[in-house]
A and B are shown apart, each in its own frame.
Chain A
Amino acid sequence: MGNDIVVVCEGDAGRLKKYSLELVAKAAEMATALDATVRAVAVGKGLAEALQVVGPYGVTRATAIDAPGLTGHYNSDAATAALSTWLQQVQPMAVLSSTSAHGRDYLPRVATRLKTGFISDAIALTVTDGRLVARRPIYAGKALVDCVVTGSPQMIGIRPNVFGLPAATGGVATVETVTVEIAPPRETIREVVAAAQRVVDLTEAEIIVSGGRAMGSSDNFRYIRDLADALGGTVGASRAAVDAGYIPHAHQVGQTGKTVNPTLYVACGISGAIQHLAGMRTARHIVAINKDADAPIFARADFGIVGDLFTILPILTEKIRKVRSA
């Protein structure tokens, strides 16, 4: 076994994913404690160039793995075979990767070929006694567990976007391209269908912006729609807004409407009757904007703004657009 930590990077359209870069930086930071060297690796066509960006984050050795059968599209069989073949040659001490949709799919397969264990969806990494300890949520985040891979290499998948990106230091990476021999993949990718533009169901929405009676008219709901658009979210409403006829019932969140479970819930001009709270209490983050400082919604909100909706919402929408397009 070597003392390499391999960071498996992902890329798209010739660019490395930001979460891969974050992982590279995190590995570089931990390398000292493990007395290890970090290597970045990417599987697939056309990522050699993209791997250059790891240099400034403390990793100078990068490998683009190619194999006959790898195409621009993800193929579970081919990715599994290519990565595990290469890892069997390299024999690293640890393999870090992201549990993106594709990562979750093929990394357990790679681990099995290497006859080791894999921890998926970690949200924190520490080092104890020279081994990596991963913390991961279980029971849908209702509990956490610290776990260790006792096999070798230690393979851990990290949930995307949990580590921030530190400032770049200005190093330069040398990227090699390695071609490995793999068996022809048994799965055929017949087609890749792009996301259809569709109205997201409230119950499945990740981000919801809801308006209440304080919106005052159906026309004013455009403020809510604009903010939802800017956030890539869906429009919700309180019962009061629905009853007032500002928006159809399909948008109602609460006891007699939909029960939602988004990552972010933005309540605009909603006082927070228990009826409404019952429908959105499991939202991970709650933002409330209301001119009434005593509105019960503030007791549930992680971030509350006391102020005038019609002034704040356009400014907020504009700022979010800027951040997202940057």
Chain B
Amino acid sequence: MKIGVLVKQVPDTATKIVLTANGRGIEEGNVKWVMNPYDEYAVEAALRLQGPLSAEVVVFSLGPARAVETLRMALAMGCDRAVRIHAETPLDAFATGNALAVAIAASGCELVFGGKQAVDDDAGQVLQIVAEVLHWPVVSVANQLHVHAGNDGITVHRPAAGGVTEVVELGFPAVIGCDKGLNTPRYPSLPGIMKAKQKPLTEQQSRDLLGGVSPHVVLQQFSLPPDRPAGRKITGDPENVAQQLVDWLHNEIKVI
């Protein structure tokens, strides 16, 4: 069996976001690039099945040249080979999902893991799109999983609103989105890092994979959220101040 893992290189979550002068993107000068944190759970999920299913684990990433670093990290953690799909500028989720799906189909993977969302665009769509293009079922968010005894399917826990958990069963092939809590991702080891150099890393062009498929979402303008307005400070009759706070919680910030 072959297992695919989808990873994305994203700015470290501690990065201060600064927009470019034209407001069409972010300044990358001081950005520290890391593997999307949710993708680490995906890599770990795949690696835990590598032995039991005698699986080859293939890691995919769509991105610019620097995305190689993230693929190397996945290889250092234990993935067997890597495929980088070159896209100089970001594609929308639809095109990204299509390109990845074509590459996955060609690789022969039957089970694909990915992070439930990337912490840069926070969209959480690519896995579902990949699944649809491949005509596979998908659980976009999972925080527990186990493969059935006969290796013919998988049971996952999908968190839903209000703390509810849906226990879902799927056959293979399938796409699974990985959430925090699914596992504890391993560190790559030093020998792993050194060995990763020797592991195969191939490159493909997104335009070759996409054929005629084009993006469907256009990003027009980036902006920064407005500064936190100066807080208000009130005093007086307890009944009255409590009411004002309740009104604020209820009507303005809507937490109750």
Seen from chain A, the residues whose Cβ lies within 8 Å of a Cβ on chain B are 73-74, 76-77, 80, 100-102, 104-106, 108-109, 111-113, 115-121, 133, 136-151, 161, 164, 186-196, 207, 231, 263-264, 284-287, 293, 298, 300-308, 311-312, 315-316, 319-320, 323-324
Q: Are A319 and B246 in contact (CB under 8 A)?
A: yes
B223 at the binding interface (Cβ < 8 Å):
yes
Q: B168's closest neighbor in chain A, by CB?
A: A187
Q: Are B171 and A101 in contact (CB under 8 A)?
A: no
Q: Are B231 and A301 in contact (CB under 8 A)?
A: yes
Residues of the B chain whose Cβ atoms lie less than 8 Å from the Cβ of A188: 168-170
* Alpha-carbon distance between A315 and B245 when the two chains are bound, in angstroms: 11
| 0/1 interface trace, chain B 136-172, chain A, CB 8 Å (1 if under) | 0111110000000000000100111111111111110
B66 at the binding interface (Cβ < 8 Å):
no
* CB of B178, distance to nearest CB on chain A (Å): 14
Residue from B167, B216, B242 in contact with A315 in the complex, judged by beta carbons closer than 8 Å:
B242
Q: Are B250 and A323 in contact (CB under 8 A)?
A: yes
* Alpha-carbon distance between A207 and B256 when the two chains are bound, in angstroms: 10
* Alpha-carbon distance between A242 and B89 when the two chains are bound, in angstroms: 51
Residues of the A chain whose Cβ atoms lie less than 8 Å from the Cβ of B123: 120-121
Residues of the B chain whose Cβ atoms lie less than 8 Å from the Cβ of A305: 233-235, 241-242, 245
Query: Max chain A CB contacts within 10 Å: which of B163, B168, B234?
Result: B168
* CB of B245, distance to nearest CB on chain A (Å): 6
Query: Max chain A CB contacts within 10 Å: which of B228, B235, B241, B253?
Result: B241
On whether A105 and B140 interact (CB within 8 A), knowing A142-B17, A302-B231, the answer reads yes
Residues of the A chain whose Cβ atoms lie less than 8 Å from the Cβ of B112: none
Q: Are A143 and B223 in contact (CB under 8 A)?
A: yes
* Alpha-carbon distance between A194 and B166 when the two chains are bound, in angstroms: 9
Residue from B124, B164, B221 in contact with A193 in the complex, judged by beta carbons closer than 8 Å:
B164
Q: Are A111 and B256 in contact (CB under 8 A)?
A: no
B52 at the binding interface (Cβ < 8 Å):
no
Residues of the B chain whose Cβ atoms lie less than 8 Å from the Cβ of A140: 13, 119, 122
* CB of B104, distance to nearest CB on chain A (Å): 15
* CB of A204, distance to nearest CB on chain B (Å): 9
On whether A195 and B162 interact (CB within 8 A), knowing A149-B216, A161-B254, A189-B168, the answer reads yes
On whether A109 and B139 interact (CB within 8 A), knowing A150-B217, A186-B170, the answer reads no
Residues of the A chain whose Cβ atoms lie less than 8 Å from the Cβ of B133: 112
B120 at the binding interface (Cβ < 8 Å):
yes
* CB of B12, distance to nearest CB on chain A (Å): 11
Residues of the A chain whose Cβ atoms lie less than 8 Å from the Cβ of B93: 108, 117-118
* CB of B62, distance to nearest CB on chain A (Å): 16
Q: Are A319 and B253 in contact (CB under 8 A)?
A: no
Residues of the A chain whose Cβ atoms lie less than 8 Å from the Cβ of B222: 138, 143-146
The 3 closest A-B pairs by CB, nearest first: A195-B163, A117-B216, A151-B216
* CB of B22, distance to nearest CB on chain A (Å): 13
* Alpha-carbon distance between A64 and B231 when the two chains are bound, in angstroms: 45
* Alpha-carbon distance between A138 and B255 when the two chains are bound, in angstroms: 21
Q: Are A143 and B19 in contact (CB under 8 A)?
A: yes
Residues of the B chain whose Cβ atoms lie less than 8 Å from the Cβ of A286: 231
Q: A135's closest neighbor in chain B, by CB?
A: B223
- The 27 listed contacts between A and B (C-beta, < 8 Å) are A74-B166, A101-B159, A106-B128, A109-B128, A111-B94, A112-B128, A121-B122, A121-B123, A139-B15, A139-B17, A143-B19, A143-B26, A145-B221, A145-B223, A147-B217, A147-B219, A187-B169, A192-B160, A192-B166, A193-B167, A195-B164, A303-B231, A304-B231, A307-B235, A307-B236, A316-B245, A319-B242
* CB of A49, distance to nearest CB on chain B (Å): 21
* CB of A207, distance to nearest CB on chain B (Å): 7
Q: Are B161 and A312 in contact (CB under 8 A)?
A: no
On whether A304 and B138 interact (CB within 8 A), knowing A145-B219, A145-B221, A150-B217, the answer reads no
Query: Max chain A CB contacts within 10 Å: which of B94, B131, B228, B255?
Result: B255
Q: Are B238 and A311 in contact (CB under 8 A)?
A: yes
Q: A186's closest neighbor in chain B, by CB?
A: B137
